[in-house]
Amino acid sequence: MAIDYGAPPLLDIAGLHLSIPTSGGDLRVLRGVDYQLWQGETLAVVGESGSGKSVSSLALMGLHPRRASVSAERMTFDGQNILGLSRPALRKLRGNQMAMIFQDPMTSLNPVLTIGEQLVETYSAHGKGSRAQATERAIYLLERVGIRNARERLGQYPHQLSGGLRQRVVIAIALMCNPKLIIADEPTTALDVTVQALILSLLKELQEEFGMALILISHDIGVVSSIADRVAIMYAGTIVESGGADEVIHEPLHPYTRGLVDCVPRLRPGRERKPLVTIPGIVPSLLGPSRGCLFRNRCPKALDTCAMTDPAVQRTASGRVFRCIHSEAVLHAAHTRPADPAPVAAGGRA
């Protein structure tokens, strides 16, 4: 499906902050998150554990911890301001216009209800139609997500299905009300590798067929690189780089993105046999206010000034956005690698 970037975005988030009070002080989990998402688009949100990927999605669905305080310059979904919406109003949007798929299907499925009851319940809760219509749609969607003998499966309980089948059921539940947006939070992490690839390509296929927007959350840039239109890289509660997936992955600007890409052998053409790179150090504490770039203790390009000022948000001519004190030209030059040695001709010596 062609994405109309001239149209207003389906989701528009600017300056999203979220903090959670703890006994040690306020945990400033989101520190100004900005991103946009268009109808029919797949955005991959990538970052290390604890960077705020899940919380930022939970916040837009109103599923963040109740004690958290949330503020934003702008948070609209389909033209509607969702920041001021009450929890009941957000509940109406959830499942109906926005749906979420979590990492572990066993925790999102109710173990004491049959698959059929759970599919039908979603549809009925939003007043979409009769029970008979819900059952027909459930069968259609179970078949569509690749589950055979769908009618018989309706009477089964989650524990009677394999992990891969359970995640397909969760996807079918998410699709029951034909939502405009699906957020898939690490949807394949709990599954084995062969099933992971099948589930991801199924999600992409369904997204194109139903024309919905998809946010795919992952800690692994390699997993999402092939199906995302755009990528947003998250670090310590902010998006440090975002842009077209190909550009960001093949020519990363931000030093953190560069580090993430270098950690994935298959994203390093010609360098697969070189030692794997890791990002040294650990994610900083999110407690309390901070000054300067939070990546500075791990950054190979850090200067003294990185500790003193918050890095400015910069935009490239192609629309990529990154947060760093260095310019695009400096980062690009710094990341440009010396050419790999020419291949040795047959019979030659290395």
Query: Taking CB within 5 to 8 Å according to partner kind, which of ligand SF4, Mg ion, ligand ATP, none is near residue 295?
Result: ligand SF4
Report, in Å, the least distance between residue 290 CB and ligand SF4. Answer: 12
Residue (37 or 115) nearer to ligand ATP, CB: 37
Please report whether residue 56 would count as binding Mg ion according to CB under 5 A. Answer: no
| Residue closer to ligand SF4 (CB basis): 166 or 326 | 326
Q: Which does 179 bind (CB under 5 to 8 A by kind): ligand SF4, ligand ATP, Mg ion, none?
A: none
Q: Which stretch binds ligand ATP (CB under 6 A): 48-56, 87-95, 242-250, 324-332?
A: 48-56
Q: Are 57 and 185 in contact (CB under 8 A)?
A: yes
108 is an interface residue for ligand ATP by CB under 6 A: no
341-348's contacts with Cβ under 8 Å and 24+ in sequence apart are none
CA nearest neighbour of 173 among 184, 159, 162: 184
Q: Give the span between the Cα atoms of 47 and 30, in whole angstroms.
A: 13
Partner from ligand ATP, Mg ion, ligand SF4, none contacting 286, C-beta within 5 to 8 A by type = ligand ATP
Q: Is 219 in the site for ligand ATP (CB under 6 A)?
A: yes
**Closest Cα partner for 35 from 12, 7, 6?**
12
**Integer Cα distance of 209 and 194 in angstroms:** 23
Q: Residue 29 touches which of ligand SF4, ligand ATP, Mg ion, none (CB < 5 to 8 A by kind)?
A: ligand ATP
Residue 54 interacts with Mg ion (CB under 5 A)?
yes
Long-range contact pairs involving 49-55 (C-beta distance under 8 Å, separation at least 24): 49/219, 49/283, 50/283, 50/286, 51/234, 51/235, 51/236, 51/237, 51/283, 52/18, 52/234, 52/236, 52/237, 53/185, 53/217, 53/219, 53/234, 54/185, 54/217, 55/18, 55/29, 55/30
Between strands 238-244 and 230-235, the pairing is antiparallel
Binding site residues, ligand SF4, CB under 6 A: 254-255, 293, 295-296, 299, 301-302, 306, 311, 324-326
Indicate which of Mg ion, ligand SF4, ligand ATP, none lies near residue 20 (CB less than 5 to 8 Å, by partner kind). Answer: ligand ATP
- Footprint of ligand ATP on residues 64-83 (CB under 6 A)? 65
Of 8-27, binders to ligand ATP (CB under 6 A) are: 20, 27
User: Which DSSP state fits 287?
Assistant: B
Least distance from ligand ATP to the Cβ atom of residue 210, Å: 26
Q: Give the separation between CA 174 and CA 199, rounded to whole angstroms.
A: 14
Q: C-beta of 295: minimal distance to ligand SF4 in Å?
A: 5
Nearest to 233 by CA among 217, 213, 246: 217
Q: Measure the CA–CA gap between 144 and 159, rounded to whole angstroms.
A: 21
68 burial level (CB within 10 Å; 0-12, 13-18, 19+): middle
Name the packing angle between helices 163-175 and 115-125 (round to 10°).
20
Q: Is 47 in the site for ligand ATP (CB under 6 A)?
A: yes
Structure tokens at 345: 């001709």
CB of 56 to ligand ATP, least distance (A): 7
Minimum CB–partner distance for residue 169 and ligand SF4 (Å): 42
Interface residue with ligand ATP among 33, 55, 60, 134 (CB under 6 A) is 55
Q: Which residues bind ligand ATP (CB under 6 A)?
A: 20, 27, 29, 47, 49-55, 65, 219, 286
Q: Which residues bind Mg ion (CB under 5 A)?
A: 54
